[in-house]
Amino acid sequence: MAGVIVADTLQDGAGNSTAMDNAIYGSAKAWVNFNGVTTTTILASYSISSVTRNSAGNYTVNFTNAFVDANYVVVCSASTGASDLRAAYPNFSTAPATSSCQIVTMNTTGTTQYDTNYVRAAFFR
């Protein structure tokens, strides 16, 4: 049975509350943590159907449910698992799509696309 809940505020058992807009617009619509070293094994995710390695340090993240438009925000990070952080960002040479987003990871100097052990991204709309 489908239904609708109409509320202005959410409240937990301790009495902490937040406006519904925070829950609707402030939550990630999709997120992923994957191994970017050739296998693109998804370690954990929400609303992500798959990740494809296009080339070294270049991945396409595919959404389970397409966004209504391509005006979403992506926040991403990458690391080798040790203290070695990598740069990660949306691929600016490819237009965002409603059903997927390309992410690029770079080495520590930011000069070469580089596969890395942990790539994390969250998508908001």
8 domain residue, yes or no:
no
**Domain of 49, in residue numbers:** 30-124
> Residue 2's pLDDT is what?
79
12 domain residue, yes or no:
no
Q: Give the closest residue to 103 by CA, choosing from 82, 123, 88.
A: 88
pLDDT per position in the chain (125 positions), as tens?
678 878 788 888 898 887 877 767 678 999 999 999 978 999 999 999 999 999 999 999 999 999 999 999 999 999 887 667 778 888 878 888 999 999 999 887 778 888 989 999 999 98
Q: How many domains does the chain have?
A: 1
58 domain residue, yes or no:
yes
111 domain residue, yes or no:
yes
CB atoms within 10 A of CB 58: 18
> Residue 18's pLDDT is what?
79
104 domain residue, yes or no:
yes
6 domain residue, yes or no:
no
User: Alpha-carbon distance 121 to 82, whole Å?
Assistant: 18
Per the document, the length of the chain is: 125
Radius of gyration, alpha carbons of the chain? 17
